[in-house]
Amino acid sequence: MNDKLSIPFGRPLIGDEDRRAVLQVLRGHILTHGANCAAFEREFAAMMRGGYCITTSSCMAALHLSALHIGLGPGDEAIVPAMTHVATAHAVEITGAKPVFVDCEPTTGNPDIAAIEAAVTDRTKAIFVVHFAGIPLNMTRLVKFAKKRDLPIVEDCALAVGARWDGQHVGLFGHTGCFSFYPVKHITTGEGGMLASQHADVAGEMARFRAFNVDRTHAERSIPGVYDVAGPGLNYRMSELQAALGRGQLAKIQEFLDQRAANFQKLKSGLGKVKGVRVLDATSQRAESAHYCAVVVLEGDLGERRDEVVLRLNERGVGTSVYYPHPVPRLHHYREKYGYKPEDFPNAAEISDRSVSLPVGPHLDGDDMAAIATAFADIAAELDGG
Ligand SMILES: *Cc1c(COP(=O)(O)O)cnc(C)c1O
């Protein structure tokens, strides 16, 4: 028997240059409102090849700001994917508006656009979508529908840095796009996020909104400390320490994405030999995935034994996760408040209950992928036999 594997699901890759950049901030005296946040915003927009970016304290903060900027409130509805992180739904729920959930596609895990179209009512005020596990949604189709109904789109891009649809980076199709720099995501700032918009005015308003809604930044104040306030706001800023780390991380994004793509292809083809599994992936040539992880749906009998598959993989030293452990409407708060029937959202429920997410991050290489595929095939055969 081989030695136990040591393959974590996710691990931030912090280099010496990242550490030096953070120390450089600490050697100075500007810990917030500084050049690093401004540069990180410019550099992120350059990576996307367009748009306007605003650093935030998290993706949740960016989603919340988006919901507030649209003006969601009691009496309104917003479309939300059933298969997403709870943050997408919370952004709507916390404003008092009602999240109206839609099921996902079984092939990509992305929200089903026909279901979105069917769920829109006279009360709908926004459409929230997610690019599931980094697979870009068909934004051409969604934007066309949203324009016809005059509905703003908020893209949850937390797992989608580097994902493009028709060559255009996700997050730039609708009202706003919201990114996460939580440690296991594509790049990290510890905690942190980025709000992107194709509209300069939207980004400008939200930059103020994110910083107490004061009417001028530090740089714009002729008398230090003197400002006025145009309306209510929040403090959802990122610090200079985080931005310095984020810039170092962003400089390596293409390298990270290339390794992810190579790992994903290798793992997917390795799993091709295993009967009764399906790896979620883009279904269109127009989609360029960011390959956050490999979501492997166990079909047939193996699906009933998902938790055993997970435990056996973990025993062998293969780190796993589940994206996402429940369809959001099945989580306690949402289930109690809005009601949930077991037959609702069957595609989302299948992914929650019968899938295992495998790592493809740049902390791993092709040999790791081969080892994961072998371990997976062994376990499937063991469980098939007994
Ligand atoms: C991780 C994640 C979030 C939350 O990001 P934070 O930066 O931790 O707030 C939101 N949406 C999706 C789809 C995520 O995967």
Q: What is the pLDDT of residues 88-139, one digit of tens each?
A: 999 999 999 999 999 999 999 999 999 999 999 999 999 999 999 999 999 9
CB contact set of 265 (below 8 Å; sequence gap of 6+): none
Cα 355 to Cα 346: distance, rounded to the nearest angstrom: 13
The pLDDT value given to residue 12: 95
The pLDDT value given to residue 137: 98
Residues of the chain with pLDDT below 50 are: none
Q: How many CB atoms lie within 10 A of CB 299?
A: 12
Q: Which residues line ligand 1 (CB under 6 A)?
A: 58-60, 84-85, 87-88, 130, 156, 158-159, 180, 182, 193
The pLDDT value given to residue 340: 94
Query: What would the DSSP string read from start to end of 303-338?
Result: HHTHHHHHHHHHHTTB--B-S-SS-GGGSHHHHHHH
Measured in angstroms, how far is the CA atom of residue 176 from the centroid of ligand 1? 15
pTM: 0.97
The pLDDT value given to residue 223: 83
Q: Are 128 and 154 in contact (CB under 8 A)?
A: yes
CA distances from 77 to 119, 151, 316, 335 (A): 10, 11, 46, 17
Measured in angstroms, how far is the CA atom of residue 59 from the centroid of ligand 1? 5
Measured in angstroms, how far is the CA atom of residue 384 from the centroid of ligand 1? 36
Cα 367 to Cα 344: distance, rounded to the nearest angstrom: 40
Backbone angles phi, psi at 296, to 5 degrees: -110, 115
Backbone angles phi, psi at 227, to 5 degrees: -155, 170
The pLDDT value given to residue 247: 98
The pLDDT value given to residue 2: 57
Label residue 291 left, alpha or beta by phi (over 0 means left) and psi (-120 to 50 means alpha).
Answer: left
Cis peptide, bond prior to residue 324, ω within 30 of zero: yes
Report which of 154, 153, 170 is spatially closest to residue 162, judged by C-alpha positions. 170
